[in-house]
């Protein structure tokens, strides 16, 4: 019998220490910001019927054609671990009667699964924060989401070197005309394109613009531009998004080649990108997906949303150090253990973070307490036969913490 410990699955991560603190900081900041923008929290299943993703993302996308974790369950049904949030949320909107809340602003976060080649910033189980506005066709919804994303990055302290790349894919008709022109253009040079792009040419030519292969890149500059195909309506929509961003003071760069990987996008498409993460430079991406609900068999419903990789945001946040305790309670005399438990509980109930040190030599307890670097140490001892609480308070301690410690010391007899 082998006693070897099974290894973790390739592309998954056990997140610990500063990385876990940065991860939590991203999620907490997102929770705070989404409340400022009044997005309602939702929790979604981690798996769905495979059709939820294959029908909404499109069979020709990378995610559906090669990245999904799909399996048959014991009942013979094809299920898929969610590779993204939007499709499942759209499914819920249709199956749970969420139409009654339209326009519906929702936010969530959690794990997603894609069979990708693991590398820095790219995992097989990763995590996203996600925000969607469903049932809103006005450009103001796009603006609100973008301003929220911008504020989130600022509150995370990572806005430097992160830029908003903005594009429009136009409405259905504009996009279709552009698509045809792209097929004509790339067909003429088909033999010189990468294998992937030759493959995409007829089925999903927009994706060629997204290619990082140098064989494709040489043809980008002269490729047809969406601006030459935009209907008046699509131009007007895009102008309103841009003026809304200007009004809110959000800076952006126009990126004519930004297309996003998924089929369901219309009008606004955007990414927040940085060169501080090497090849995995997109931290947040999204756009308008007016075509999605119909692909899922629902009534035409305009919607817009974005998602951001928590790991990539956490990498930008970097090491914030482990959070310091407000108080370390050191029990100097073992007969005071119960009273030590009482004091540390009292502190925590009053909202102060506290830790109890009551084992090892006395010297060790203090060394450890000092090393932990709390705002205060509360030492419980017997002095002249009487219990006494000594306070060592750092200058950084808040006045409410000082008051609390004073009250404890006064009661500790
Ligand atoms: P990429 O171009 O990096 O593959 P994508 O277009 O596939 O990104 P989206 O589907 O738009 O990404 O997902 C939104 C965000 O989720 C990305 O900007 C990124 O931050 C994060 N993300 C996507 N795939 C992964 C992954 N495999 N590992 C870690 N984060 C990811
Ligand atoms: Mg991808």
Question: What is the pLDDT, as a whole number, of residue 57?
Answer: 84
60-64, 249-253, 343-347, 379-383: segment of lowest average pLDDT = 60-64
User: For the CA atoms of the chain, what is the radius of gyration?
Assistant: 27
pLDDT above 70 (res 136): yes
Question: What is the pLDDT, as a whole number, of residue 1?
Answer: 60
Q: Which CATH number fits domain 325-411: 1.20.20.10, 3.30.460.80, 3.40.50.2300, 3.40.50.800?
A: 3.40.50.800
Question: What is the pLDDT, as a whole number, of residue 261?
Answer: 65
CB 358 within 8 A of CB 337: yes
CB 326 within 8 A of CB 405: no
Kindly report the protein residue whose alpha carbon is nearest to atom 16 of ligand 1.
309
Check whether the bond before 147 is cis (ω within 30° of 0). no
Nearest ligand to the C-alpha atom of residue 284? 1
User: Ramachandran region of residue 224, left (φ > 0), alpha (ψ -120 to 50) or beta?
Assistant: beta
Which one, of 171, 104, 88, 169, lies nearest residue 136 by Cα? Answer: 104
C-alpha 1 to ligand 1 mean position (Å): 41
Domain ranges of the chain: 18-171+231-317, 325-411
| Rounded Cα–Cα distance for residues 264 and 84 (Å) | 13
C-alpha 368 to ligand 1 mean position (Å): 42
93-124, pLDDT tens digit by residue?
A: 999 999 999 999 999 999 999 999 999 999 99
CB 115 within 8 A of CB 67: yes
* Higher pLDDT, residue 266 or 123: 123
Question: What is the pLDDT, as a whole number, of residue 19?
Answer: 95
- Ligand 1: atom nearest CA of 121 is 29
E strands, 19-118, in order: 40-41, 47-49, 69-72, 78-81, 104-113
Which CATH architecture group holds 18-171+231-317? 2-Layer Sandwich (3.30)
The response to whether residue 207 sits with its C-beta less than 6 Å from ligand 1 reads no
pLDDT above 80 (res 405): yes
Kindly report the protein residue whose alpha carbon is nearest to atom 2 of ligand 1.
282
Question: What is the pLDDT, as a whole number, of residue 264?
Answer: 75
pLDDT above 90 (res 154): yes
- Ligand 1: atom nearest CA of 128 is 16
pLDDT above 70 (res 327): yes
Q: What is the mean pLDDT of residues 249-261?
A: 90
pLDDT above 70 (res 225): yes
Domains 18-171+231-317 and 325-411 share a fold: no
The mean predicted confidence, pLDDT, of the chain is 94
Q: What is the mean pLDDT of residues 179-200?
A: 93
Ligand 1 pocket, mutate which of 56, 277, 285 (most atoms under 8 A from CB) = 285
């Amino acid at each position: 019998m082998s006693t070897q410990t099974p290894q973790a699955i390739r592309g998954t991560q056990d997140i610990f220490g500063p990385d876990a603190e940065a991860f939590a900081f991203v999620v907490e900041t997102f929770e705070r910001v989404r409340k400022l923008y009044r997005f309602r929290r939702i929790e979604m299943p981690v798996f769905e019927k495979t059709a939820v993703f294959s029908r909404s993302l499109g069979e020709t996308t990378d995610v559906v054609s090669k990245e999904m974790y799909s399996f048959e369950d014991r009942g013979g049904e094809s299920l898929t671990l969610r590779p993204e949030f939007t499709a499942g949320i759209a499914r819920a909107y249709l199956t749970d009667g969420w139409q009654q809340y339209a326009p519906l602003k929702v936010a969530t976060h959690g794990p997603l699964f894609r069979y990708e080649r693991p590398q820095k910033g790219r995992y097989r189980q990763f995590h996203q924060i996600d925000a969607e506005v469903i049932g809103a066709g006005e450009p103001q919804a796009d603006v609100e989401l973008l301003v929220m994303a911008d504020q989130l990055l600022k509150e995370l302290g990572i806005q430097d070197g992160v830029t908003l790349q903005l594009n429009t894919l136009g409405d259905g008709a504009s996009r279709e005309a552009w698509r045809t022109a792209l097929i004509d253009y790339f067909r003429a040079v088909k033999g010189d394109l990468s294998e992937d792009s030759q493959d995409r040419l007829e089925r999903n030519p927009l994706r060629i613009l997204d290619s990082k292969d140098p064989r494709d890149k040489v043809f980008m500059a002269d490729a047809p531009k969406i601006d030459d195909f935009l209907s008046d309506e699509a131009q007007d929509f895009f102008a309103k998004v841009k003026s809304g961003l200007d009004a809110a003071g959000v800076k952006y760069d126009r990126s004519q080649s930004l297309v996003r990987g998924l089929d369901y996008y219309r009008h606004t498409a955007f990414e927040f990108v940085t060169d501080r993460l090497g090849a995995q430079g997109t931290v947040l991406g999204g756009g308008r997906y007016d075509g999605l609900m119909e692909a899922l068999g629902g009534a035409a419903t305009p919607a817009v949303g974005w998602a951001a990789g928590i790991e990539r945001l956490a990498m930008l946040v970097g090491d914030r150090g482990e959070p310091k305790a407000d108080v370390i309670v050191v029990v100097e005399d073992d007969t005071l253990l119960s009273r030590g438990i009482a004091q540390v509980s009292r502190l925590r109930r009053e909202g102060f973070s506290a830790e109890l040190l009551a084992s090892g030599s006395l010297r060790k307890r203090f060394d450890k307490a000092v090393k932990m670097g709390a705002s205060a140490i509360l030492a419980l001892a017997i002095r002249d036969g009487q219990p006494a609480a000594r306070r060592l308070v750092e200058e950084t301690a808040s006045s409410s913490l000082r008051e609390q410690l004073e009250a404890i010391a006064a009661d500790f007899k």
